[in-house]
Amino acid sequence: MDRFEKQAMALALSLVLMFLGLIVYAAKGLQADLPTCLPNARLFERGRLVEVGPNRYQVDAVAFMWGFDMGQLNTIKIPHGAVVDFYVTSRDVMHGYHIDKTLVNLKAIPGAVTYSRVKFDRPGEYQIVCHEYCGLGHQNMAGKVIVE
């Protein structure tokens, strides 16, 4: 292999290693990490919204054909500045749980619980979009987080 080829390969390798370094920094340093395995996750069949501390909330969301049970149906209200833990599962087929303008982008899988935490700094309406195909009513499956 000639000189130029070796240089091109070295450049490509350093580029991807740089990307990887930035990713690890964002995940572990800036806490923008992916959902992980929760070894002791309790399974739940009903949705609920509970205040677990001062301005801290927990949402158990059960996705179904075609809506989100979060204690209330499809819509929840949260004060702004609140830190919210989302636990998501499904009671029938696979669904998606993507909250607009946040990094909450989860898959609702029957039999498994997926988790993400987010802080709502700005008041407003955040749409929850089901983004995994779940049957013929899929396009109508959406919810809302109203941050007051």
Residues that bind other proteins (CB under 8 A): 1-2, 4-5, 8-9, 12-13, 15-17, 19-20, 23-24, 26-27, 32-38, 41, 64-67, 69, 73-74, 88, 91-94, 96, 98, 100-101, 103, 105-107, 109-115, 127, 129-140, 142
Contact (Cβ atoms closer than 8 angstroms) between residue 142 and residue 125: no
Minimum CB separation of residue 59 from other proteins in Å reads 14
Contact (Cβ atoms closer than 8 angstroms) between residue 65 and residue 135: yes
Minimum CB separation of residue 80 from other proteins in Å reads 20
Please name which of 69, 62, 66 lies closest in space to residue 114, comparing C-alpha atoms.
62
Which CB sits closer to other proteins, 37 or 54? Answer: 37
Please name which of 127, 107, 126 lies closest in space to residue 116, comparing C-alpha atoms.
107
Which CB sits closer to other proteins, 19 or 77? Answer: 19
Minimum CB separation of residue 113 from other proteins in Å reads 5
Strand-pair category, 124-129 with 95-99: antiparallel
Minimum CB separation of residue 133 from other proteins in Å reads 5
- At 118 the three-state DSSP class reads strand
C-alpha of 109 from chain center: 13
